Amino acid sequence: MNNSYHLNYLEQLESESIHIFREVAAQFEKPALLFSGGKDSITLVHLARKAFAPGKIPFPLVHIDTGHNFPEALDFRDALVNQLGATLVVRKVQDTIRQRNLTEPKGKFPSRNWLQTYTLLDTIEEFGFDCCIGGARRDEEKARAKERIFSVRDEFGQWNPKLQRPELWNIYNGKIHKGENVRVFPISNWTELDIWNYIRRENIDLPSIYFAHERKVIQHEGQLVAISEFVQPDEQDIVMTKKVRYRTVGDMTCTAAVESTAETLEEVINEIIATRISERGETRIDDKVTEAAMEDRKKNGYF
Amino acid sequence: MDLLRFITAGSVDDGKSTLIGRLLYDSKNILIDQLEALEKSTRNRSDGSVDLALLTDGLRAEREQGITIDVAYRYFNTPRRKFIIADAPGHVQYTRNMITGASNASLIIILIDARLGVVEQTRRHSIIASLLRIKHVVVAVNKMDLVEFSQDVFNNIVIDYNGVAAQLGLKNITYIPMSALDGDNIVDKSRRISWYTGKPLLEFLEEVQLDEDVNLTDPRFQVQFVIRPQTGELHDYRGYAGKVISGIYKKGDRVTVLPQGIETTIASVESAGKEVEEVFAPQGAVLQLADDIDISRGDSIVKSDNLPQVSNELEVLLCWLDDKPLMTGNKYLLQHNSRLVRAIVKQVEYKIDVNTLQQQPVEGNVKLNEVVKATIKTATPLVYDSYEKLSEYGSAILVDETSNSTVAAVLIK
Ligand SMILES: Nc1nc2c(ncn2[C@@H]2O[C@H](COP(=O)(O)OP(=O)(O)OP(=O)(O)O)[C@@H](O)[C@H]2O)c(=O)[nH]1
Ligand SMILES: [Mg+2]
């Protein structure tokens, strides 16, 4: 057998994801791609583009905007949408808080992460989305490691981990009742390192904050948090200027920076290979609360 | 780098989750914060040891009950290979979740508790392994620490399991005595099991020959989605997007569109919007055809000199996965990759008894977890090969239209 007819693992993962994207486009009437501006959703967009070329991506990108974004990520989002000629829908958590009279989390690092669910469910209802594509990976977290690629949610968006449909071979059953929706995770089987290697292989552009840069930060329980309009130092905080990069891009209020000198993709990948701390563990400020935090959020309609 | 997807199976409490935890732990694939979380959640264990099963038992209910309910996926690599592990539940109630994990595995590790030997779940999971034609089987005789690492105990289990394997036609079986709890023969060779001359598990997993599973000789392509940009210079563009299930496709190939039965030629082969020389399994592709033919999702494009079967009456093996029993004469949707057709289960011939592994008449309805031989009639013809010849083109699911659940795994004879 000729060796050139062989896909390496990245090519295998890519092919699996493209197959999933095409199933989504064909099986659902109104899918949407949830776009956060982070590397996983940027990779998703890249894969979607490949899946439907030379046509356009046949669904809108939806950004559930917490209002606590990195400005670099927002600029990147707008430029990408522009370049793709894609439709972008932005719905703001701030508006949901006002309309639904929700209580803002308080504290020094007020995370709106959990409130995103309300805005997401409202947006699903507003547009009648029957499928939301997300960039969650199973290697991120152990509740995620349990979720199907096509994950059926009830009309409250809830995940029922004890009643998941069998998902056999590469056959995806997207049949749902009215009001339900499906969350689809095309990069379920990718690891953080796979994403980085793929970004290098495909030459995918990323927001600048993924690379080492100088930033004013404070230290919080061993993690570095950037000073911004959303996070202000207390009297006891020591404000330092450090060379950092971000390993994930979430909200400025709950994403920690990593001290780093990696200015190129190559250097970032080397640091990721060498690290002994997980992506979530190193970057999320709000996630250590309970072991079941993610499972609970998902049961409430979160991604 | 190569990719190996494997699954752990076997009866409840045989140590599947512990084994995976141990594999990750001893191969230094657990990160510091994950380890801290693990230590924190097992602090209340009486002997102070960490419970490695908690690395994969990611649901609250699983941690509370100390059992696995649904399959968990873990990813790790060594310098030699990349692995995707599916940790399956052992409990009979969750067999459908085990099948979910097994359907994409090319190797299965069947654990057996050395004290208990081959039990009903060992046989049930072995039946599934044989049905799905999982290429490699490792029988891990676990908890050897509880039988004083006895070679006799091990040998007797090997004899017993060889009987099961012979009846099921399972080949390529490797037996490894181990203690997942203590790490014997997982990553490092056990000094306490000195009579065992084979490899520890990880070394075996790194070296097992992955004879290319991909079939490059029988070209099969199913249309997933029709790309029609209908804009500007692409106004008349019509591309058939799908995955090459097997074989190789090139520009100029004579192809037949099925079930229509119309012949045409491939006008261009594209990948990610660019024209390419050829595409091969399992790549995604967009094919353009020379003639204007009415083609929609689920239709097959195959080489004219290598045709699959086309029929609306199928002999199948069914694994029933739903709590509601199968009633013969009921209508279901049959999904064969991207093709959806209405189907009736006409007749059930026999079921496979998990204890005797023999064929048995079916009394009444077919219940959850039963494996039966049946005849299915479809409303429009299906284009397929036998599961034995080409698993990806010979497998399907049944969907209950009233609940939308996936109720059966279908393996076409
Ligand atoms: N003594 C001994 N105990 C073991 C060994 N392997 C696992 N155990 C124990 O057996 C019990 C069950 O282990 P699990 O790993 O949860 O079993 P499982 O096969 O994953 O169970 P399910 O997923 O629920 O089917 C736990 O208390 C383990 O500590 C072993 O090699 N020796
Ligand atoms: Mg388990």
Mean pLDDT of B329-354: 95
- Which pLDDT does position A235 carry in this prediction? 83
Q: Which of the listed residues B273, B303, B333 is the one where a domain comes to its end?
A: B303
- For an interface test with B, the pick among A146, A149, A198, A289 (most B C-beta atoms closer than 10 Å) comes out as A146
Q: Which of A269-283, B45-59, B71-85, B145-159 has the highest mean pLDDT?
A: B145-159
In this structure, the answer to whether residues B262 and B394 fall within a common structural domain is no
- Which pLDDT does position A2 carry in this prediction? 47
Q: Return the ligand number nearest the Cα of B19.
A: 1
Binary contact (A162, B69; C-beta < 8 A): yes
- Number of CB pairs, chain A paired with chain B, less than 8 A apart: 178
Summarised one tens digit per residue, pLDDT across range A13-55 is 999 999 999 999 999 999 999 998 899 999 999 999 999 999 9
B18 close to ligand 1 (CB < 6 Angstrom): yes
Mutate to test the pocket of ligand 1, among B57, B71, B181 (most ligand atoms within 8 A of CB): B181
Q: Which of A236-250, B14-28, B153-167 has the highest mean pLDDT?
A: B153-167
In this structure, the answer to whether residues B209 and B148 fall within a common structural domain is yes
In this structure, the answer to whether residues B194 and B129 fall within a common structural domain is yes
B145 close to ligand 1 (CB < 6 Angstrom): yes
Closest chain A residue to the Cα of B71, Cα to Cα: A146
What angle, 0 to 180 degrees and rounded to 10, lies between the N-to-C axes of helices A192-202 and A39-52? 50
In this structure, the answer to whether residues B47 and B127 fall within a common structural domain is yes
Mutate to test the pocket of ligand 1, among B8, B14, B18, B146 (most ligand atoms within 8 A of CB): B18
- Average pLDDT over chain B, rounded to whole? 93
Q: Which of B229, B284, B405 lies closest to A55 in CB terms?
A: B229
- Which pLDDT does position B42 carry in this prediction? 66
pTM of the model: 0.94
| Least confident window among B60-69, B155-164, B320-329 | B60-69
B180 close to ligand 1 (CB < 6 Angstrom): yes
Binary contact (B297, A26; C-beta < 8 A): yes
B90 close to ligand 1 (CB < 6 Angstrom): yes
Fold of A9-194+292-299: Rossmann fold (3.40.50)
Q: Which of B1, B57, B212 lies closest to A1 in CB terms?
A: B212
Q: Which of the listed residues B253, B277, B303 is the one where a domain comes to its end?
A: B303
Complex ipTM:
0.94
Q: With contacts defined as CB-CB under 8 Å, which chain B residues touch A177? A: 404
Q: Where in chain A is the domain with CATH 3.40.50.620?
A: 9-194+292-299
Q: How confident is the model at residue A289 (pLDDT cuts 50, 70, 90)?
A: low
d(CA B140, CA B161): 11
Q: How far is the CA of B375 from the centre of ligand 2 (A)?
A: 35
B15 close to ligand 1 (CB < 6 Angstrom): yes
Q: Which of the listed residues B303, B335, B366 is the one where a domain comes to its end?
A: B303
Domain count, chain B: 3
Summarised one tens digit per residue, pLDDT across range A67-91 is 888 889 999 999 999 999 889 999 9
Residue A77, H or E segment: helix A71-84
Q: Which atom of ligand 1 sits closest to the CA of residue B179?
A: 31
In this structure, the answer to whether residues B89 and B208 fall within a common structural domain is yes
Tell me how close the Cα of A133 comes to any Cα of chain B, in angstroms.
17
Beta-carbon contacts of B190 under 8 Å, excluding residues fewer than 6 positions away, are B149, B177, B178, B179, B184, B196, B200
Q: Comparing B265 with B70, which gets the higher pLDDT?
A: B265
* CATH number, position B255: 2.40.30.10
Binary contact (A143, B58; C-beta < 8 A): yes
- For an interface test with B, the pick among A153, A163, A169, A275 (most B C-beta atoms closer than 10 Å) comes out as A169
Q: With contacts defined as CB-CB under 8 Å, which chain A residues touch B272? A: 49-50, 53
Q: With contacts defined as CB-CB under 8 Å, which chain A residues touch B69? A: 161-162
B12 close to ligand 1 (CB < 6 Angstrom): yes
Q: With contacts defined as CB-CB under 8 Å, which chain A residues touch B61? A: 161-162
In this structure, the answer to whether residues B270 and B351 fall within a common structural domain is no
The proportion of chain A whose per-residue pLDDT surpasses 70, expressed as a percent, equals 97
Summarised one tens digit per residue, pLDDT across range B250-294 is 999 999 999 999 999 999 999 999 999 999 999 999 999 999 999
- Nearest protein Cα to ligand 1, atom 30: B143
In this structure, the answer to whether residues B20 and B144 fall within a common structural domain is yes
Identify the residue whose tokens are 């600029």. A75
Mean pLDDT of B155-181: 96
In this structure, the answer to whether residues B105 and B180 fall within a common structural domain is yes
Q: How confident is the model at residue B225 (pLDDT cuts 50, 70, 90)?
A: very high
Confidence check: pLDDT of A290 > 70? no
Confidence check: pLDDT of A1 > 50? no
Domain coverage including residue B260: 220-303
In this structure, the answer to whether residues B264 and B389 fall within a common structural domain is no
Q: How far is the CA of A155 from the centre of ligand 1 (A)?
A: 38
- Which pLDDT does position B56 carry in this prediction? 81
Q: How far is the CA of A162 from the centre of ligand 1 (A)?
A: 21
Summarised one tens digit per residue, pLDDT across range A54-64 is 999 999 999 99
B68 close to ligand 1 (CB < 6 Angstrom): yes
Binary contact (B335, A171; C-beta < 8 A): yes
Q: How far is the CA of B211 from the centre of ligand 2 (A)?
A: 29
Q: How far is the CA of B51 from the centre of ligand 1 (A)?
A: 9
Q: Return the ligand number nearest the Cα of B57.
A: 2
B17 close to ligand 1 (CB < 6 Angstrom): yes
Confidence check: pLDDT of B88 > 50? yes
Confidence check: pLDDT of B44 > 60? no
- Nearest protein Cα to ligand 1, atom 7: B15
